[in-house]
Structure 1
């Protein structure tokens, strides 16, 4: 192969694009975007499609009892822990084509490149295609990797589909897999066979896409969260024309006051360079609200995320204190449901450093950044598997039909993934 042909970022583009185009075509939603429900006929088709790609590359295939698929290029020393990469094949309803799929295509492109350049790995090189990472349909995220690591719970199988009469257990069984094995409490794969897991993923936010030169991210960790699904601000419903301001207990203005104070506290912590995001994704008045009423009830949710659980816990204390102050000043009451907690996932520091060093050595500009969204990597790193992530820029956000990703940005991420895999493979210890 000539020197001009020695760049995976150039030569692998057509191979990657075909997979993206093919999967988009057969998983199109009739309304918009793509819909690839976990444990559905469409997700099964994704797995069957990538199996066929694997056959063209001469890869070994194996699926665990939960349906997580491994496609492996055998190495010279098969007793060594493997280098594994990949992501999930499902999507949210009417989502984008690249969330999850990008990590699968990146891994397949690296193995394609190894075949094309006659590269024989020292250890096994595998692409992992996980099941049901998204929580949109059954309310449970990371079902495939939780099952694989022995962490899926029996009660999870009773979760019901968002729009039809189907349990998660029924969906798993109808897809050809064993729901009881998924909740046995035992890993479905030999976790000691993972030498490293690197997940390439679109960023799902604007940071990389807003940077003209640094289009790749080296992920430093995955943010944990503290959440309240339902917060109620209880005031007093009144006639909008008959009650003057000093006599009102307006739940809307109290909620607005509370949230603006919280934003100021958030900005203060950002100024102190703490990692923190604060979101109210749902906010609504009571069912009987009307234009001629002073609103007596507002319900909303709260999602706080950070790489530091200490930061979250301290901010939660501020949240409760602030709510108490607003309640006393405005004559309302705030009620919080039970707090939900997800600890941050600490990615393997050695792998994170390796990715950053490899990017610098290969002239790939990057940004070191946290992941605000959850990923399968969080489950695997918490199970003791050395894990890290690579982000690539995407446009128009994610979890929506307008999601985009420039192929040249993706291929820079693929090049970095290949160089990390090559460097890991050449180390003999």
Structure 2
């Protein structure tokens, strides 16, 4: 069977891409770093352009820098089947987050070119820009621009470590930020019949399954985030100031986070979908062992499949900061909240993926996505969208991502079957 052959013969093609990108983006400090709108991200896109030319694919780049590589179909008047993901990464991340979703459809197109198969409709690989929010606090920049959802104020977001705005970074990378915030899509969204993003699962569920190593995703959590909340207390001498006179920013922040954890557990007990994280907590640069800390800066990331749940949980956060501020004589200063809508994937397309897997003996698990993805932006823009998950070992957003190539090739096989049978 052709789909069996791709799982075997396509392995070397796919593995070579993973190895090439790994060598291009290895971080001396560990892991892989592919910052969005950087020279390194441009280098990766150039690599994929060269690969696309070797496969005789049509090539297009939009004003945001998103790359489209297309295998023409037999009926070009039909809307295209699109599959892809992002080429960037978090700092010192793994090699498979995002990249797997580019390599998978490219492997399918390599196989079609090798076997002389021509699909009914165009098949396009989309390589998006800056999906990760690690540097500017804004996720999905490429797809937000593509769908006409990026806002002018987003371009003013500042880099986390250097004095540069997002707009300046985009310009430095060679693209046109002013064309990304017009409110109009950068491409004809009506010309996309389906968008399917293959991605590593970024949690342990699939890897805990001995047989069901593929996930068919039903929906994607949205999130509410604060990049930098400040707790402002009063710096004092650690030995000379007694408890009743202290305005300790660390203890106030700790009390807030523990209180929010209790609220979180209560929500889970009520069967609500919710996760809550504070991934960065830091004191003032002048803090020392002999000082009562007067300043703490921390971030908040809350996610759910229900925006209502998120809004209510955020209200609890605000109420708790007011209560703790009065109790401890501190104040909490909020930066602007960043909001990403949850996404319900297209039921017909999700069912088609599940039915295709079942018909061809590919064991799978039906599951939601806890992490956000470009597919969420496409779905919320009205593009019929779905996702395929592949098991991944040792977590994600760290250097230890360890996706087994055999699991990945099962995902490639399913994607190929979906493309081949899409119009049947």
Scaled to the shorter chain, the TM-score interval is 0.7 to 0.9
Post-superposition offset of 1:123: 1.1
Name which of structure 1's ranges 242-251 and 143-152 shifts more when overlaid on structure 2. 242-251
Cross-structure match for 1:128: 126
Cross-structure match for 1:284: 282
In structure 2, C-alpha distance between the alignment counterparts of 1:243 and 1:154, rounded to whole Å: 48
* TM-score, normalising length: structure 1: 0.87
Name which of structure 1's ranges 234-243 and 367-376 shifts more when overlaid on structure 2. 234-243
**Aligned residue pair count:** 424
Name which of structure 1's ranges 194-203 and 161-170 shifts more when overlaid on structure 2. 161-170
Name which of structure 1's ranges 126-135 and 178-187 shifts more when overlaid on structure 2. 178-187
Post-superposition offset of 1:243: 6.0
CA displacement, residues 267-288 of structure 1 (integer Å, 9 cap, x when unaligned): 2222222110011112234455
Name which of structure 1's ranges 244-253 and 341-350 shifts more when overlaid on structure 2. 244-253
In structure 2, the residue corresponding to 1:397 is in which secondary structure?
A: coil
Shift in CA distance, 228/24, structure 1 to aligned 2, threshold 3 Å: closer
| Contact 1:68/1:144 (8 A) holds in 2 | yes
In structure 1, the residue corresponding to 2:208 is in which secondary structure?
A: coil
Cross-structure match for 2:113: 115
In structure 1, C-alpha distance between the alignment counterparts of 2:204 and 2:419, rounded to whole Å: 27
| Contact 1:121/1:425 (8 A) holds in 2 | no
CA displacement, residues 308-362 of structure 1 (integer Å, 9 cap, x when unaligned): 0111122223333444555566565555444433221222222222222323333
Post-superposition offset of 1:413: 1.4
Shift in CA distance, 242/59, structure 1 to aligned 2, threshold 3 Å: closer
- One of 283, 297, 302 as aligned partner of 2:300: 302
In structure 1, C-alpha distance between the alignment counterparts of 2:254 and 2:160, rounded to whole Å: 31
In structure 1, the residue corresponding to 2:422 is in which secondary structure?
A: helix
| Contact 1:5/1:11 (8 A) holds in 2 | no
Counterpart check, 1:65 vs 2:27: no
Post-superposition offset of 1:238: 5.7
In structure 1, C-alpha distance between the alignment counterparts of 2:162 and 2:335, rounded to whole Å: 27
- One of 368, 383, 386 as aligned partner of 2:384: 386
Shift in CA distance, 214/187, structure 1 to aligned 2, threshold 3 Å: same
- One of 16, 31, 45 as aligned partner of 2:14: 16
Deviating beyond 6 angstroms after TM superposition, the runs of 4 or more aligned structure 1 residues are none
In structure 1, C-alpha distance between the alignment counterparts of 2:298 and 2:78, rounded to whole Å: 51
- One of 298, 321, 345 as aligned partner of 2:343: 345
In structure 2, C-alpha distance between the alignment counterparts of 1:159 and 1:332, rounded to whole Å: 27
Cross-structure match for 2:406: 408
